[in-house]
């Protein structure tokens, strides 16, 4: 079984990837999308969004990170993919699933699922622009307004040269509302000859087991569930292992905060830690109390003093 960490724009950036992969159980990450809108991006843009490219394309825990491109112009995407390939990523992923209105309005993300022929041209252009040894993969939803063309879209991506598909088991219209329609992933898996990864509504190890049974997929992608429970991947990969409790989350929060202090502008630091605490509340009652303690604090120094005062001392470096 392979477990992937999902791209989540505005949340799961390199800082959170770093600490979540150190929690264990994740085999590969996909970065938040790099938007391509008609220009050849300088290398610094790729390195800003995926700084792991400076260290062999891996997080500090050694987990590979596959950068993701988002756009709708095959030629421009191919040119950017070629430049990105020169930075030595483990692979390149293409976004055909983003449901954001601002992205869809410009013909990107899930909006592309309305044009299977264009899907094939985009993937084909990128596939031909990068070395044959470099995997080109794709992430899709079941469709835009409905799932009637889900299999057709998956086949179009594979026809273009995608070597793996991640399928978020909802349409753009579904957004993130439960349920996820894992049975539709099974239809796609049976219709294509490449590995298919199931994604959507996997919050617990029990969810993962049911998703694998219904979808038939051995590989899963974890998103919000892993953010809410950093021990989820280990719980899935090693059934019966003790759950990662609040004591195990505290060092991860400390490490995350150190990264935030180093890389995030001071006026945004409090928001980043409160954002993660908001997700952690789902699985950890202690996070609810911590979030309430710092909810109205925006000064980074005051927030850190209040939040970490009850934590055990940091380990000596």
Kindly give the interhelix angle for 116-129 and 74-85, rounded to the nearest 10 degrees: 30
Residues 126-153 have a mean pLDDT of 98
Percentage of the chain exceeding pLDDT 70: 99
Provide the domain limits for residue 287. 246-310
State residue 317's pLDDT score.
Answer: 44
Which element (helix H / strand E) includes 175?
none
Global pTM?
0.95
Confidence of residue 312 (pLDDT cuts 50, 70, 90): confident
Question: Does residue 313 carry a pLDDT above 90?
Answer: no
Assigned domain for 141 exists: yes
pLDDT for 250 beyond 50: yes
Q: Do 67 and 26 lie in a common domain?
A: yes
Upstream peptide bond of 174 is cis (omega within 30 degrees of 0): no
Residue pLDDT, tens place only, 37-72: 989 999 999 999 999 999 999 999 999 999 999 999
At 238 the pLDDT is 87
Instruction: Tell me the pLDDT tens digit for each residue of 220-242.
Output: 999 999 999 999 999 999 887 77
* Identified catalytic residue from 29, 98, 153, 211: 98
Q: What is the DSSP string of 265-294?
A: -HHHHHHHHHHHHHHHTTT-HHHHHHHHHH
Tokens linked to 266: 């001071």
Q: Is 230 exposed, middle or buried (0-12, 13-18, 19+ CB in 10 A)?
A: buried
Average confidence score pLDDT of the chain: 96
Same structural domain, 230 and 94 = yes
Task: Decide if 281 is inside a domain.
Answer: yes
Question: Into how many domains does the chain fold?
Answer: 2
Q: What is the pLDDT of residues 79-93, one digit of tens each?
A: 999 999 999 999 999
Residues 164 and 46 occupy one common structural domain: yes
Q: Which tens digit of pLDDT belongs to each residue from 259-297? A: 999 999 999 999 999 999 999 999 999 999 999 999 999
Q: Are residues 180 and 291 in the same domain?
A: no
Q: Specify if 317 maps to a domain.
A: no
Do 214 and 93 fall within a single domain? Answer: yes
pLDDT at 242: 77
Annotation marks residue 98 as catalytic: yes
Q: Are residues 159 and 209 both part of a single domain?
A: yes
In a domain, 315, yes or no: no
Strand-pairing partners, residue 221, are: 4, 199
Q: Of 189, 211, 237, which marks where a domain is finished?
A: 237
* Cα–Cα distance for residue pair 262/257, rounded to 1 Å: 9
Does residue 233 share a domain with residue 250? no
For 128-155, what is the mean pLDDT?
A: 98
* Of the residues 207, 237, 267, the one at which a domain ends: 237
pLDDT band at 314 (very low <50, low <70, confident <90, very high): low
């Amino acid at each position: 079984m392979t477990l992937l960490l999902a791209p989540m724009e505005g949340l799961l950036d390199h800082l959170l990837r770093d600490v979540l992969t150190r929690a264990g159980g994740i085999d590969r990450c996909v970065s938040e999308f790099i938007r391509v809108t008609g220009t050849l991006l300088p290398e610094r843009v790729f390195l800003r969004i995926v700084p792991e490219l400076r260290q062999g394309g891996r997080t500090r825990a050694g987990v590979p990170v596959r950068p993701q491109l988002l756009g709708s112009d095959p030629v421009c995407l191919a040119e950017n993919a070629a430049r990105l390939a020169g930075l030595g990523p483990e692979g390149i992923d293409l976004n055909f699933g983003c449901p954001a209105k601002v992205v869809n309005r410009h013909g990107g993300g899930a909006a592309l699922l309305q044009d299977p022929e264009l899907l094939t041209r985009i993937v084909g252009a990128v596939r031909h622009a990068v070395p044959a040894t470099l995997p080109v993969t794709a992430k899709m939803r079941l469709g835009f307004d409905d799932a009637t063309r889900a299999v057709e879209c998956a086949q179009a991506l594979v026809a273009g040269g995608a070597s793996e598909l991640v399928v978020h088991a909802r349409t753009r219209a579904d957004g993130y509302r439960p349920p996820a329609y894992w049975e539709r992933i099974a239809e796609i898996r049976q219709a294509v000859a490449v590995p298919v990864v199931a994604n959507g509504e996997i919050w617990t190890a029990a969810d993962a087991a049911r998703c694998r049974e219904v979808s038939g997929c051995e590989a899963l992608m974890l998103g919000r569930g892993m953010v809410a429970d950093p021990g989820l991947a280990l719980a899935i990969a090693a059934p019966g292992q003790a759950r990662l409790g609040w004591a195990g989350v505290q060092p991860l929060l400390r490490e995350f905060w150190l990264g935030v202090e180093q890389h995030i502008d001071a006026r945004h630091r409090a928001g980043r830690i409160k954002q993660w605490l908001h997700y952690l509340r789902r699985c950890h009652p202690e996070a609810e109390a911590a979030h309430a303690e710092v909810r109205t604090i925006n000064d980074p120094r005051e927030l850190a003093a209040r939040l970490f005062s009850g934590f055990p001392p940091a380990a000596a470096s």
